[in-house]
A and B are shown apart, each in its own frame.
Chain A
Amino acid sequence: MDWTWFHRFGSPPHLYGLAGRLVPWFAWPAALAIAAGLYGGLVLAPPDYQQGDGFRIIYVHAPSAWLSLMAYTWMAVAAAIGLVWRMKVAHAMAASCAPIGAWFTVAALCTGMLWGKPMWGTYWVWDPRLTAELVLLFLYLGYLGLRSAIEDPQRADRASAVLAVVGVVNVPIVRYSVEWWNSIHQAPSVMKFGKPTISWPMLTPLLIMFVGFTLLFLALVLVRVRGEILRRERQARWVSEVIAA
């Protein structure tokens, strides 16, 4: 197997340049998709037969929750690659995912509470799904806290990477909590095998939102990873060349 692409991707100046070139290709489609999805979700989609217009929170809640899990998965994979191959850019990638993931976990939790109050009758219950998503937030905060507590960047990278890898077991727990245990949270309507249990006029804007949030995450991560690479490449000659230009 040819691994040159892997090593080229692992080269800091290469990824720094590539990330810079890619950002607009993710950012603008993301803006377009999120705008279209929001219009479709809030205006075009019909109200739900049980929840009326209240169900429209799904158009910000579900994509936020999706992003929070996707960011953690990326972070754990990047951290594992960083641990095994001692690859600087992988650690830079993992460190870039954490603040984004943490913020969208907050978004998923808060929009869920705003949905839960009128529909379930409560902002919060210690339900498996809700608790697992809260644990996800604590994992992110623990990761960020650990990084800021360790002065030496290389040691900070390795220690936080172990935490990221260990915490990844929580990702399937969040996803499958509603199927493994009795939960107040409903089962997935979209992210599952088989036919979605949400009608097409409602599903289309939601899928557009999922695409938009995925692109948004990639754009944000690429902007952040460039900064993280610069921080790790203090002595490299290419940095002075790039910065001077």
Chain B
Amino acid sequence: MSGFLSMGGYASSVWPAVALTFGIIAWNIVAARRSFAAARAEARRRIAAGDPS
């Protein structure tokens, strides 16, 4: 296990690269859902206000 974590001496390159990529994947999932939710909330607000423009 420690051999796996040390990545043959390249731990300081491999793990930050993996962490960064998965951080970006996670952020993209959150951001895409937020963007859609915001658009839907805005549409709902407009409809509730009876303003179709």
Contact = CB atoms under 8 A, between A and B. Distances in A.
B2 interface: no
A209 to B, nearest CB: 10
Contacts, number: 107
Contact of B10 (A34, A53, A107, A224): A53
Given A42-B18, A57-B17, A228-B39, A52 B47 contact: no
Contact of A224 (B7, B17, B20, B35): B35
Nearest to B10: A54
Chain B interface extent, by class = 20 to 34
Interface residues of A, number: 40
A100 interface: yes
A243 B43 contact: yes
Contacts of A64: 21, 24
Interface in A48-86: 52-54, 56-57, 60-61, 64
Interface string A206-236: 0000000000100010011011101100110
A118 interface: yes
Contact of A115 (B7, B17, B29): B17
A239 interface: yes
CB-based closest 5 A-B pairs:
A227-B39, A53-B8, A54-B10, A227-B36, A60-B21
Interface of B: 4, 7-10, 13-14, 16-18, 20-22, 24-25, 27-29, 31-33, 35-40, 42-44, 46-47, 52-53
